[in-house]
A and B are shown apart, each in its own frame.
Chain A
Amino acid sequence: MENGNNYLPFKTTLRSVKELRNDVKLFSIMVPGDFSYRPGQFVMVSVFGAGEIPISITSTPEICKDLEICVRTVGHVSAAVNSLRTGDTIWIRGPYGKPFSLKRETRDTLFVTGGIGIVPLRPLVNQMIDVHRQSEGKGTVTVIYGSRNPSEVLFMDEVASWMERGANIVMTVDTCDNEAWKGYTGLVTEHFGKAGVDYKNCTAYICGPHVMIQAAMRDLLLKGIPDNRIITTLEAHMKCGVGKCGHCYCGGKLICEEGPVFSLEEIEKYNIKPGVDSID
């Protein structure tokens, strides 16, 4: 969007709004043809009067014409976004941020995700399944996906489509209140053994609650994945998305410009730990 003013959003319409969970909604937003983005990036979403927040992009550009975002009600701007309905106006700026790299450098690709953490990884899973198909050598795409209980699983049909396209799926819940549940119970970190992954030749993408990310990173390091192949996406308070307001500055890095995608190696080297530090 070239109008010279980085702080000015463009106006667009919600093609559809779908409730995924009582506090989570999926929005399909109409965007101009030249609006291009990559998984890992985010947009600044405005509801005038309430404010503006950074939200991860969850649509896969090759599959989806619209821009999809998934918003959980946590504060007053997200609550305002989640009160919007199909046909309503929404204001967008972006895309911003450094995306995930699509270069396949290992035999296996592993996704470890919990709860709403699947949202930014979802388009990357789609893309990596294709990358695996199109490149040589064996190796699998595995998704270990944890939720609180079966009724809170997001994107169930998409997960089924991944399985149909050859991905190895391991689903787990904290507690099971549904006899029809065919997946596992327990934390995602308890199921690394079921992944069938060669940890010495694997790239792992992790996103979910902070405690889960920390535990998964620690366990995967122990299993032999080097720290430059353990990737996550960080979140921070952001007011501009273009490296000027200073709120996302952490460890000498601006999460909005040099992230939000970071490897564990970078996180340790620069001590970038927004949000994670709060648990102590």
Chain B
Amino acid sequence: MIESNRITTYILHNKNHLSFWLRRLKTSHQIIAPVRDISGDIVLTGIRHMHEIALDGPALMPSPKEFLLPQMEQLFHYSDDGVEETFNKQPRIIFGIRSCDLSAIRILDIFYLENNKDAYYESRRTNTVMISIACNQPDPTCFCFGLSTGPFLRSGFDLQLTDLGNRFIVEAGTETGMALVREFLHIFTDPRPEDIEDLNEVRLASQSRFEKRVNLEQVHRGILAGEVSDTFWDSVAARCFECGGCVYNCPVCTCFNVIDQHFSPDSGKRIRIWDACMFKGFTRMAGDVVPAAKKIQRTKRWFHHKLVHWPTQFGTFGCVGCGRCAISCPGRIDMASVALRTKGTEHSEEKW
């Protein structure tokens, strides 16, 4: 993704033109967008008709990660003749994701593309364009604002749309994004000063609506200073069901297992599937040695990874404030609550 030096802004005056635009883009890309499924949940899926798109719902569950790192993915087919890799190169547009999820994808890019590049992720990623939509109304579980991962981004997007009620502001941040607009320039107009004023107003309003103010920097420092005790982590671990929901729904979690599936005595496929470090068997070695057998080890490890090791190694937290852990945890453990309870030394010894 080549980032432009500046953001180019357009207005899409007629909201009906959004369908037109996406319908035309669908001739060259698969369109993945939020859709209300039969149970009323909003999920991201490939769409056939524009009217299926639902932009009025809460945070998507699960995260868009599944389109870049599928829950199950074939690495290669093997047989006596050799190995045959399988890469997905289909051009796609993921439309309607939020800034937090786009920020998460940028974190996944660092992890999968920098050191020891992951060829499978790269293949999907380079063929995927993201059209994100800024959040005007954060959910009660959201805390992206304190992490600079939302409710809108200043850069790092292909195209970012903001709904101004009767029109959209469309910002292009990369050459890829620009190309999608340029092809249909006749439906876009240049912004007027009042458009930018309205944009700023909508942004400020959104920022003021956050119910949670979470400071992960403070938690990071607290952990490094030894202010967060094992007593605290014990009380967190005691509530953990080891269901893996937090891991599977987190847009930044990346761990996977690799398995060979035989079709016949001499052929089969090697696949990878999502795995969760919260599971007791995650670290099991042959000989039945289980290093992280105790729950507190796994609870602590997950939080430390996101709060300490990610910022130390990559300069960014392993959390984007999407709030999915809060929504999915049956034990009511989540990043925001942990952060709020570890704020300051007088709280760290306090049990849940």
Point out residues on A near B: beta carbons under 8 Å.
4-9, 11, 48-53, 74-78, 91, 235-237, 239-240, 242-247, 249-250, 252, 257, 273-278
Q: Give the distance in Å from the alpha carbon of A9 to the alpha carbon of B258 in the complex.
A: 14
B256 close to A250 (CB less than 8 A): no
A8 close to B287 (CB less than 8 A): no
Residues of chain A within 8 A (CB-CB) of B270 are 7, 48, 52
A51-B83 contact given A246-B254, A252-B308, A278-B291, CB 8 Å threshold: no
Please tell me which one of the listed residues B260, B283, B287, B304 contacts residue A48 in the complex, with CB atoms under 8 A apart: B260
A-B contact pairs, 5 of them (CB 8 A): A5-B119, A7-B270, A9-B83, A237-B282, A252-B305
A243-B260 contact given A78-B286, A252-B304, A277-B291, CB 8 Å threshold: no
B289 close to A246 (CB less than 8 A): no
Residues of chain B within 8 A (CB-CB) of A5 are 85, 119
Nearest chain A CB to B27 CB, angstrom units: 31
A245 close to B256 (CB less than 8 A): yes
A74-B75 contact given A6-B119, A245-B255, A277-B291, CB 8 Å threshold: no
A50 close to B309 (CB less than 8 A): no
Nearest chain A CB to B95 CB, angstrom units: 28
Please tell me which one of the listed residues A7, A91, A247, A278 contacts residue B75 in the complex, with CB atoms under 8 A apart: A7
Residue B115 at the A interface, CB < 8 A? yes
Considering the complex, give the chain A residue whose CB is closest to the CB of B277.
A246
Considering the complex, give the chain B residue whose CB is closest to the CB of A279.
B289
Residues of chain A within 8 A (CB-CB) of B82 are 11
B117 close to A245 (CB less than 8 A): no
Residues from 99 to 155 in B contacting A, C-beta threshold 8 Å: 111-112, 115-120
B282 close to A247 (CB less than 8 A): yes
- Give the size of the chain B interface in residues (CB under 8 angstroms): 46
Since A7-B118, A49-B260, A277-B297 are in contact, a sample of 5 more A-B pairs with Cβ atoms closer than 8 Å, ordered by chain A residue number, is A8-B75, A48-B268, A252-B304, A252-B305, A276-B291
A274-B283 contact given A49-B262, A244-B254, A252-B308, CB 8 Å threshold: yes
B291 close to A7 (CB less than 8 A): no
Residue B36 at the A interface, CB < 8 A? no
A247 close to B118 (CB less than 8 A): no
Nearest chain A CB to B250 CB, angstrom units: 13
Residues of chain B within 8 A (CB-CB) of A48 are 78, 260, 268, 270
| Total cross-chain contacts (CB, 8 A) | 113
B115 close to A245 (CB less than 8 A): no
A278 close to B289 (CB less than 8 A): yes
Residues of chain A within 8 A (CB-CB) of B292 are 277
A74-B286 contact given A6-B119, A246-B275, CB 8 Å threshold: yes
Residues of chain B within 8 A (CB-CB) of A276 are 291
A245 close to B118 (CB less than 8 A): no
Residues from 227 to 285 in B contacting A, C-beta threshold 8 Å: 254-260, 262, 265, 268, 270, 272, 275, 277, 282-285
Nearest chain A CB to B351 CB, angstrom units: 23
Please tell me which one of the listed residues B119, B275, B291, B305 contacts residue A245 in the complex, with CB atoms under 8 A apart: B275
A247 close to B291 (CB less than 8 A): no
Please tell me which one of the listed residues A11, A49, A75, A239 contacts residue B286 in the complex, with CB atoms under 8 A apart: A75
A239 close to B258 (CB less than 8 A): yes
Residues of chain A within 8 A (CB-CB) of B259 are 51
Residue B21 at the A interface, CB < 8 A? no
A6 close to B116 (CB less than 8 A): yes
Residues of chain A within 8 A (CB-CB) of B120 are 7
B293 close to A278 (CB less than 8 A): yes
A52-B258 contact given A7-B119, A9-B83, CB 8 Å threshold: yes
Nearest chain A CB to B112 CB, angstrom units: 7
Considering the complex, give the chain A residue whose CB is closest to the CB of B78.
A48
A6-B117 contact given A249-B301, A249-B305, A275-B285, CB 8 Å threshold: yes
Residues of chain B within 8 A (CB-CB) of A75 are 286-287
Considering the complex, give the chain A residue whose CB is closest to the CB of B294.
A277
B257 close to A243 (CB less than 8 A): no
Q: Give the distance in Å from the alpha carbon of A245 to the alpha carbon of B119 in the complex.
A: 14
Residues of chain A within 8 A (CB-CB) of B305 are 249, 252
Residues of chain B within 8 A (CB-CB) of A242 are 116
Residue B76 at the A interface, CB < 8 A? yes
Residues from 273 to 327 in B contacting A, C-beta threshold 8 Å: 275, 277, 282-287, 289-293, 297, 301, 304-305, 308-309, 312
Nearest chain A CB to B113 CB, angstrom units: 11
Residues from 55 to 86 in B contacting A, C-beta threshold 8 Å: 75-76, 78, 82-83, 85
Q: Give the distance in Å from the alpha carbon of A83 to the alpha carbon of B265 in the complex.
A: 15
Nearest chain B CB to A169 CB, angstrom units: 29
Considering the complex, give the chain A residue whose CB is closest to the CB of B286.
A75
| 9 nearest CB pairs, A to B | A75-B286, A246-B255, A74-B286, A242-B116, A5-B119, A274-B291, A252-B309, A239-B258, A49-B262
A49 close to B85 (CB less than 8 A): no
Q: Which of A8, A9, A236, A243 is packed against the most chain B CB atoms within 10 Å?
A: A8
Considering the complex, give the chain A residue whose CB is closest to the CB of B310.
A252
Q: Give the distance in Å from the alpha carbon of A135 to the alpha carbon of B309 in the complex.
A: 40
Q: Give the distance in Å from the alpha carbon of A257 to the alpha carbon of B111 in the complex.
A: 14
